[in-house]
Structure 1
């Protein structure tokens, strides 16, 4: 469930359910999808979340694809780790893990107005034996860091014994490292220092044998005055770093709150830690990250890694991708972008292809609105235009309607090709290249769908012969490059509206893709739908008697239109899924200009020839409503001020 479906459809429904039920439904649904044949590919296709190589890093020597981790509170039983690992995470936290299960069936409460989740127990888990099985048999390839803790209320010696036993049991599993969670405000400073000292003595032999990194887990509301003495007791050869927790303790029932309210404390802890520890120490933080700007704030304060928990619930599964994009932009914003390649290297050929489609569409529209048929059509039929009119008074109007809709679709394809080449392919944007590649791969073969009916269209064949080399030249030597333009950082009103706009265009792209396949299939099989025959007032048998080649000619038009529509739709769908980025104004104008010719052609010709059957036009009305709604909802997001994407510290920057 990408953000455009989560924010608009699923989140409002899930938030009406008890939180435990909603979490179970969501995780099990994602698990089922990921285990279907092609399920992970579907997740990747919908989200396009593959992390850039620019984000690769090492956590205490362990390779991680990104600096973003999944908190153990999100999926404590590892139900959907296979699916979630496709979201752009670099590592996964397992835990907390205690020796014995800690069970609590009290409700988990969503405080939506504060974007906070209240848990009845901080350490609720299935216990060592069950959690060990999750760690030993991962269904993903990401590093796993295990948070281990003593049973609540354990005395100092007992806590040390339990932590050591957990380490001994889990050290031979595929766990990449461990978070040691035993510091507590319920103990005095001296007691916490004794814990650290005793653990260091007990754990050092174990550490020397296994060499798996250990991180000291620091509760979010841990006394700030105790932080410096505690860090002074840590021994760098044992401790690879620190993890700032996510839980705020608010009542005597030991309920904890995880959410946006923890951000100020987390920032303070991270900043304080960074001044106390060496630059080689890793600092992770797991609180108050609900939008990309929150993650950047943590990284600027000194964190090396961030973990997501409540932010996924309130912002959606696209949050890791958005943070990854923000991190890349943050790292590159002071780096001059590379010079764009020359016109003739690759992108210019796609511009020429687009111009060719535009010119071809204009010519096709002019012919379809005037003579309708061309000399080679008349030669194929052995009949003149006047003789065709004698067969049926609506026949030429019907053929004109097919050809004008095809012309409008050609214009739309040409505009999208030109715009995506000039503003996307030119800058080696992966999504733009994929959209153009996919459109061409399905579009060029569709030129020849009509051959099954024995009709060879020389103009279509000539167009394919001219345009195909341009397509091949445009697709060569296209290495992916990151975007150097500002990205979305806030869960603003514009962003939330854009989720609805994106939903409209995704549904539009899917609908038009289905429509293109259906029209092409009808074109090469039955040729007509009942409304077509009712409009003309004839049967296929009567048309076949009038001219045995007439249906083949009509089939060529229908199949060609269906193929062109499908080619256009898949390009629009990929743009809607992967390409929308805040304040990229050219995208809004591309959607407006690219969709207008197809809708104008399709709707105007039906009214012009009075082919206005409601059921026949209902799909077009539905598509047009999605198109207009999508443009309106995306307008503030795509056409807003560039300044709205920056953090307060960047507001004075001038972007050229």
Structure 2
């Protein structure tokens, strides 16, 4: 029904506008008595074989919703009914910001992909916290944090620390987003020495709390093997809890979309099917080269249960979906979990 009726209808409209409409629709439906229970019956798979214990947390299943979907933590309670094992909110920055000028998200229908240059648009840390205070405790929540666009390089660490300290009581794990291609001064955020400094400062802040929260690093799919070796070195040096592989890509190779279409769209991060293999290769390299020394959350191009199993077999401990959720619909979560039970 989704791919035959709902998706073609949604795809007639601007991606960002339909995103907000979908949020409003889900929130409206969830307020109708019994609808949340119907969603849970349709999409949730409850099986002990799906349970995963990772960095001190117990996930009821290994399929999560990636950051960027529920940026401001406004829909996580409702989305929990769709069968996810965890939901990552954000990217959240200290101050609210508009992000890049619209239009800033584009569908590549022939490629089953998206290009976005949202630019960390969000309502800021205080708004996220107010929404997280409504947490009904149905699901593990991750907090994806970043810096404000206007922040100068010398203030990057303070931005991350401000988000980390404020969000700490309200999320179950943290993700340092240093790999989004749509933010300024990207170079510093991928410098090894700076990343070690940033992670160390965040860990020091973490140790001041009575209960420490896991901290993960989100990396790009476009890193070469030398850069991936640096990631392994960073994890070994800092003892950070894990890696998310991967973010969106700036690589446009192998797309069905025409050169003219891509030029008209312009810059941005590519997600969806076109980055499936790149993401999986990054996971495989990190897992094999490090001798599975740290947990990996695999994300990028998961549009079918087989894609998720491929990432898990490559060395991922958990997986996340985003673009696949848009193209394939909410049944994708159930299909992945059922396939994992059978595997």
Which TM-score tier does this pair reach, normalised by the shorter chain?
A: 0.7 to 0.9
Residue 507 of structure 1 corresponds to none
- Deviations along 1:272-297, one digit per CA (max 9) or x if unpaired, are 11124353521002210011111011
Q: Given the superposition, is the C-alpha separation of residues 275 and 33 from structure 1 closer, same or farther in structure 2, using an over 3 Å criterion? A: same
**d(CA) in 2 for partners of 1:62, 1:20:** 33
1:58 pairs with 2:57: no
Counterparts of residues 371-410 of structure 1 (less than 5 Å)? none
TM-score normalised by L of structure 1: 0.47
Deviation by residue 1:162-189 (Cα, 9 ceiling, x = unmatched): 1122111111x22001011225786668
Tell me the distance in 1 between the aligned counterparts of 2:328 and 2:229: 34
Figure out how many residues of one structure are paired with residues of the other and give that number. Answer: 324
> Whose RCO is larger (CA < 8 A, sep 6+)?
2
Alpha carbons of structure 1 residues 109 and 48: separation in structure 2 relative to 1, 3 Å: closer
Q: Does 1:163 find its partner at 2:164?
A: no
Pairing 1:264–2:277 present: yes
Q: Name 2:198's counterpart in structure 1.
A: 199
Are the aligned partners of 2:43 and 2:331 in contact in 1 as well (CA < 8 Å)? no
Instruction: Report the RMSD for the aligned CA atoms in angstroms.
Output: 2.5
Match of 1:148 in 2: 145
Q: Is the contact made by 1:64 and 1:90 (CA closer than 8 Å) also made in structure 2?
A: yes
Give, in whole Å, the separation in 2 of the partners of 1:97 and 1:112: 29
Aligned match of 1:10 in 6, 10, 28?
6
Runs of at least 5 residues in structure 2 that lack an aligned partner in the other structure: 252-262
Deviates more, 1:130-139 or 1:256-265: 130-139
Equivalent position of 2:309 in the other structure: 296
After superposition, residues 436-455 of structure 1 pair within 5 angstroms as none
SS of corresponding position for 2:191: helix
**For 1:129, which of 113, 126, 129 is the aligned residue?**
126
Alpha-carbon distance in 2 for matches of 1:18, 1:188: 31
Displacement of 1:39? 1.9
TM-score with structure 2 setting the length: 0.86
Higher helix share: 1
Deviations 1:194-247 (A, max 9, x none): 212312442332222331110011122234421212321334774110011331
> What are the equivalent positions in structure 2 for 1:525-544 lying under 5 Å apart?
none
Partners of 2:216 and 2:50 in 1: CA distance: 22
Q: Which residue of 1 aligns with 2:87?
A: 92
Q: Tell me the distance in 1 between the aligned counterparts of 2:43 and 2:250.
A: 37
Cα distance in 1, alignment partners of residues 203 and 12 from structure 2: 49
Partner of residue 368, structure 1? none
Which residue in the other structure is 1:489 paired with? none
Q: Structure 1 residue 147: deviation in Å?
A: 0.9
Contact 2:220 2:246 in 1 (8 A): yes
Q: Which one of the candidate residues 175, 180, 183 is aligned to 2:176?
A: 180
CA contact (8 A) 1:159 1:182 kept: no
Aligned to 1:138: 135
